Chains A and B, each alone.
Chain A
Amino acid sequence: MIRTEIYENALFETIKRGATVISPDVRDAFVRAIEKESNEAAKRGLEATLRSMDMSRERENPLCVDTGWPIFYFKVGNRCELEGGFVELENAARRAVAKATKLGYLRATMKHPLTGYDPGNNIGMNIPDFTYKFVDGDSIEMSYAAKGGGSECFGGTRHRIVAFADGIKGIEKFVIDSFVASARAGAVCPPSVLGIGIGGTANVAANLAKEAACLRTVGSRHPDPMFAKIEEDLYRALNSLGIGILGAGGNTSVLAVNVEYAYTHIAGIACATSTNCMVARRASTKIDANEKVTEMQSPMWFGDR
């Protein structure tokens, strides 16, 4: 049995790390982007961003002022036992979000959608958001992702049902059209981690796209060569557009293109995109049944990617 104080403290530390420490794979992608950038102003922008991200770790302050929607992903062992059960896990996550907000690791960003009421702690109806995946074992892996307003609100999240008649070309055209429109003038804070969901109902595709954007390790590839090829082709195509950091011109427009899929209906292919902003904030922690707490470098939400 994993005690409440153990998982609640781990949740708080995961939120704090997600908000203040850049993931190693995202940092590596930045270093590579700086090396290959030929636009001087864009290069300086990437360098300034990297410097600021490194300072956030030392200063323990947010990587970006917009600390985003608080989103949790729990990969739960089938025999995992938590004190108070999963209802208490969610209560603990809410308490941890409120505490992180009070201490300035998160900005009080979540508001009532109609009245604009600000509870001041990022807690409200259906927020934070929780997603579960069940696997063998008795441990729990907890991931926190902060989905920024820029990347979510300005057209980075879209869906379209593509006809089988249009196939891969239709999917790729949809992705490129969507990304160009949403990255204009830096709206979605490029260079983006672009997640693409193919198949399922529209919401399944949208969830896969979000998980591909927020949880996949930057630099990982889909194991199925057909999907890996879409990732590689779109990565190359999007980085040839000249959108660059904050849309002001440059060689790197996406840090990664990650595709996930589900089987779909014979009638059509639901396709969805989700862009994550350049800081691509996330953190993950594993707790074993013996209460051993381990920081994870990457969520490993999709097996080894």
Chain B
Amino acid sequence: MAEYHLTSPLSEEDVRKLKIGDTVYLSGNAFTCRSRLQRYIFDEGNTLPFDTSDRNILIHNGPIVIKENGSWRLVSFMPTSSIRFEKWGEKSVKEWGLRMIVGKTTMGEQTAQAMKEMGCVHVSPRSVSPNLWIDSITVEDVYLFDELGSIEAAWFFKINELGPFIVDIDSEGNNYFDRLDESIAESKKNALEQLGIGEEFKFTKLY
């Protein structure tokens, strides 16, 4: 499992070489979004008011940003769960030309398929360490602040060696967590056996 230090905008070549389990650190331009922004664009028919071609890393996140002496200060940041945006995953990858999505909880089959087609990956954090991350992020700008509010707005970040993140969906459609599920299922069987709960155990059906 390799380690990569990548700078956005990412090229197709940058992400096609990444395999599940690899570690990445990210620099360059990125933007944030949550449900409200995706609903606003994809379900309510609005147009994204900025260009994503030089900013093709999307971070699923609702940061805490406060205004101090006329400029933005990032108080806290932690990638949020991506799976809840699965409904818009394919569209965001294809229509926004994304090369990477940063978030927790991985994403589903449909997004993985779009990633395979377009050349895009999903990466996950391995810690809850907002204080280490905010030192790698400068808030540059914000879009749709008035329409969507601070947490759901699209924040423009300049990032510097932000990471480490683990590649959990690669551009061949492999999922790191699907692989891990297999070994967890095996250990679960052993754990249940140790508790005296054999494979033959069935819940008495009450409803």
**Interfacial chain B residues near A150, Cβ < 8 Å:** 80-81, 104
Q: Known interface pairs A41-B126, A243-B184, A246-B124. Does A166 touch B76 (Cβ–Cβ under 8 Å)?
A: no
Q: Which of B62, B180, B197 contacts A248 (CB 8 A)?
A: B180
Closest CB in chain B relative to A122 CB, distance in Å: 12
**Interfacial chain B residues near A173, Cβ < 8 Å:** 192, 197, 201, 203
Q: Known interface pairs A52-B130, A247-B177. Does A187 touch B105 (Cβ–Cβ under 8 Å)?
A: yes
**Interfacial chain A residues near B181, Cβ < 8 Å:** 184
**Interfacial chain B residues near A97, Cβ < 8 Å:** none
Contact B66 A104 (CB under 8 A): yes
Contact B75 A62 (CB under 8 A): yes
B1 (CB) vs chain A CBs: closest residue = A41
A108 within 8 A of B: yes
Contact A116 B36 (CB under 8 A): yes
- Report which residue of B77, B166, B184 has the largest number of chain A beta carbons within 10 angstroms of its beta carbon: B184
Contact A165 B105 (CB under 8 A): no
User: Which of A9-17, A42-50, A215-223, A290-298 sits within the interface?
Assistant: A42-50
A55 (CB) vs chain B CBs: closest residue = B131
Q: Known interface pairs A104-B64, A107-B64, A162-B203. Does A51 touch B132 (Cβ–Cβ under 8 Å)?
A: yes
Q: Tell me how many residues of A have a C-beta within 8 Å of chain B.
A: 65
Q: Which of A41, A107, A241 contacts B188 (CB 8 A)?
A: A241
**Interfacial chain B residues near A247, Cβ < 8 Å:** 177, 180
**Interfacial chain A residues near B81, Cβ < 8 Å:** 149-150, 153-154, 187
B61 within 8 A of A: yes
Docked complex: B156-207 residues within 8 A CB-CB of A: 164, 166, 168, 176-177, 180-181, 183-184, 187-188, 190-192, 194-197, 201, 203-204, 206-207
**Interfacial chain A residues near B201, Cβ < 8 Å:** 169, 173
**Interfacial chain A residues near B2, Cβ < 8 Å:** none
Contact A44 B131 (CB under 8 A): no
Measured CA separation A120–B84 after assembly (Å): 23
Q: Which of B61, B132, B168, B195 contacts A52 (CB 8 A)?
A: B132
Contact B126 A245 (CB under 8 A): yes
Measured CA separation A237–B61 after assembly (Å): 33
Q: Which of B80, B126, B164, B184 contacts A66 (CB 8 A)?
A: B80
**Interfacial chain B residues near A65, Cβ < 8 Å:** 61-64, 76-78, 80, 130
Contact A186 B129 (CB under 8 A): no
A240-256 to B contact mask, C-beta < 8 Å, 1/0: 11110111110000000
Closest CB in chain A relative to B21 CB, distance in Å: 9
B175 (CB) vs chain A CBs: closest residue = A185
Docked complex: A222-240 residues within 8 A CB-CB of B: 233, 236-238, 240
Closest CB in chain A relative to B106 CB, distance in Å: 4
Closest CB in chain A relative to B64 CB, distance in Å: 5
Docked complex: B70-98 residues within 8 A CB-CB of A: 75-78, 80-81, 83-84
Contact A52 B83 (CB under 8 A): no
Contact A237 B180 (CB under 8 A): no
A-B contact pairs, 14 of them (CB 8 A): A48-B129, A52-B127, A104-B66, A107-B62, A161-B207, A184-B105, A187-B105, A238-B191, A241-B184, A241-B187, A242-B183, A245-B126, A248-B126, A248-B166
For the complex with contacts A49-B129, A107-B62, A169-B195, 13 further pairs of A-B residues with Cβ separation under 8 Å are A41-B23, A48-B129, A52-B131, A150-B80, A153-B81, A173-B201, A185-B105, A186-B105, A187-B104, A246-B125, A246-B126, A247-B177, A249-B180
Residues on B lying within 8 angstroms of A by beta carbon are 23, 36, 61-64, 66, 75-78, 80-81, 83-84, 104-106, 124-132, 149-151, 164, 166, 168, 176-177, 180-181, 183-184, 187-188, 190-192, 194-197, 201, 203-204, 206-207
